Amino acid sequence: MRITSTALLALLPVLAIAVPTSNNVGVTIPLSKRSKLRNEDGTAAIENLRKSISRVQRKLERGFANFERNTGEIHPNDFRNSTAAASKRATGADPLTDDDEELWQGAISVGTPAKRFTVDFDTGSSDLFLPASNCNVNCAGHTLYTTSASSTARNQGSSFSLAFGDGSTVSGTIFTDTVTIGGLTATSQAVGAATRYSTGFALSEFPPDGLMGMAFPQISEFGANPFFQTLVAQGKTTASEFGFKLSTSGSELFLGGVDTNLFTGTITQVSVTQVGFWQITLGSANVNGAATVSNRAAIVDTGTTLLLGPAADVSRFYAAIPGSRDASSTVGAGFFTFPCNSLPPLSLTLGGRAFPISAASFNLGTLSAGSTTCVGGVAAVDFDNMWILGDVFLENVYSVFNTGTRQVGFATLR
Active site includes 301? yes
Mean pLDDT across 209-226: 96
Model pLDDT, residue 95: 57
Q: How many of the other CB atoms lie within 10 Å of CB of 191?
A: 32
At 23-69, the pLDDT tens digits run 445 899 999 875 567 888 889 988 888 877 877 777 777 888 888 88
CA quadruple 163, 6, 270, 31: dihedral sign: negative
pLDDT at 87 over 60: no
Residue 35 lies in a domain: yes
What contacts 24+ positions apart, CB below 8 Å, involve 319-325?
319/292, 320/287, 320/288, 320/290, 320/292, 320/344, 321/287, 321/376, 324/376, 325/373
Catalytically annotated residue among 78, 99, 120, 122: 122
CA distances from 371 to 164, 269, 326, 363, 375 (A): 34, 41, 16, 13, 11
Cis, bond preceding 113 (omega within 30 deg of 0): yes
**What is the per-residue pLDDT across 94-119, written as a single tens digit (0 to 9) for each?**
554 443 344 678 999 999 999 999 99
Q: Where does the pLDDT of residue 232 fall: very low under 50, low under 70, confident under 90, or very high at 90 and above?
A: very high
Average pLDDT for 357-366? 97
392: containing domain? 7-126+181-186+210-414
Tell how far CA 314 is from the center of its chain: 20
Which one-letter DSSP state was computed for residue 132? B
In percent, how much of the chain has pLDDT > 70?
Answer: 86
> SS3 for 141?
coil
**DSSP one-letter string for 77-93:** T--TTSHHHHHH---BE
Least confident piece of the model among 11-20, 23-32, 138-147, 207-216: 11-20
Is residue 225, in this structure, part of any structural domain at all?
A: yes
Number of Cβ within a 10 Å radius of residue 205: 18
pLDDT score for 81: 52
What confidence score (pLDDT) does residue 1 get?
35
In the residue annotation, 122 being an active-site residue is answered as yes
Query: Which of 51-65, 186-200, 382-396 is least confident?
Result: 51-65
Got the DSSP string for 33-84?
A: ----SB-TTSBB-HHHHHHHHHHHHHHHHHHHHHHHHHHSS--TT--TTSHH
Residue 256 lies in a domain: yes
Is pLDDT at 192 greater than 80 in this prediction? yes
Higher pLDDT, 157 or 68: 157
Is 155 part of any domain? Answer: no
CB-CB contact of 240 with 403 (8 Å): yes
Q: How far is CA 197 from CA 36, 139, 189, 193, 207, in A?
A: 21, 6, 21, 10, 13
Query: Which of 93-97, 114-118, 171-175, 329-333 has the lowest average pLDDT?
Result: 93-97
Residue 262 lies in a domain: yes
Asked whether the predicted pLDDT for residue 373 surpasses 60, the reply is yes
Residue 162 vs residue 61, higher pLDDT: 162
At 208, the pLDDT band (50, 70, 90 cuts) reads very high
Catalytic residue (choose from 301, 313, 382, 391): 301
- Please give the helix or strand (H or E) that residue 262 lies within, else none: none
- Give the tens place of pLDDT for each residue, 273-305: 999 999 999 999 999 999 999 999 999 999 899
Q: What's the pLDDT band for 249 if we cut at 50, 70, 90?
A: confident
Q: Is residue 394 part of a domain?
A: yes
DSSP 311-351: HHHHHHHHHTSTT-EE-TTTT-TT-EEEETT-PPPEEEEET
Closest CA to 119 of 111, 108, 135, 132: 108
- Note whether 283 and 273 are within 8 A (CB): no
* Alpha-carbon 362 to chain mean position: 17
Give 414's Cβ-side CA count (13 Å radius). 9
- Which has the minimum average pLDDT: 127-131, 198-202, 306-310? 198-202
Number of domains in the chain: 1
Q: What are the tens digits of pLDDT across the range 120-151?
A: 999 999 999 999 999 999 999 999 999 999 99
Q: Which 8-state DSSP code applies to residue 200? A: G
User: Is residue 162 in a domain?
Assistant: no
Indicate which CATH number applies to the domain containing 335.
2.40.70.10
What are residue 413's DSSP bridge partners? 263
Instruction: Report helix, strand or coil for 201.
Output: helix
Higher pLDDT, residue 40 or 89: 40
Domain assignment present for 237 = yes
Please give the model's pTM, rounded to 2 decimal places: 0.87
- What spatial distance separates the first Cα and last Cα of the chain, rounded to whole Å? 41
CA distance 130 to 194: 6
Distance, in Å, from the CA atom of 91 to the CA atom of 101, rounded to the nearest integer, reads: 27
